[in-house]
Amino acid sequence: MDKPLKPELQAAIARYPAAVQQQVLRLRAEILEVAAGSEGVGELLETLKWGELSFVTEQSKSGSTLRVAWNAKQAEYLGLYVNCKTSLVNSYQTLFPGLFVYQKQRALLLPLDSEWPLAELRICIAMALRYHLDKRKR
């Protein structure tokens, strides 16, 4: 899916080093693709939260907000952040122990210098985008 970036999102991503920018755009493409193929999610609102690229299921209210951010303190990783009040990171750790680097209840940390396990990453993204929808079904 090739959706144009809003100028404010472009500006936020442009603050990162060039290699990080490429990975942010790569992760953005994965999120948009998973959203498009996930029943009940609908169109995502791309916005900035805390100055970081964020994806909100504003129309459907099906899921939890996803944020994509890089931090110089953990320069070797790109973070895929979820709401820390959800059980998402616990679920990721249960499903994929040791596959990702996890940051408490907040994030998956994706290495910038190696391939990502895309099938599993897509499952994690879909779980976040459908978090409230799936919770209602339980």
Number of domains the chain is built from:
1
Domain of 92 in residue numbering reads as 7-131
Residue 138 in domain = no
The total of other beta-carbon atoms located within 10 Å of residue 92's CB is: 23
> What pLDDT shows up at residue 68?
98
Sequence-distant contacts of 41-46: CB under 8 A, at least 24 apart: 41/129, 41/130, 41/133, 44/129, 46/3, 46/5, 46/6, 46/9
Does residue 44 lie in a domain region? yes
Domain harbouring 121, CATH code: 3.90.1150
pLDDT at 138 over 70: no
Render pLDDT for 70-81 as a digit per residue (tens, 0 to 9): 999 999 999 999
pTM of the model: 0.94
Instruction: Say if 136 falls within a structural domain.
Output: no
Instruction: Kindly state the tokens that stand for 83.
Output: 């709401």
Q: Is position 113 within any domain? A: yes
Instruction: Provide the 3-class DSSP secondary structure of residue 138.
Output: coil
Would you say residue 137 lies in a domain? no
pLDDT tens figures, 102-137: 999 999 999 999 999 999 999 999 999 999 877 766
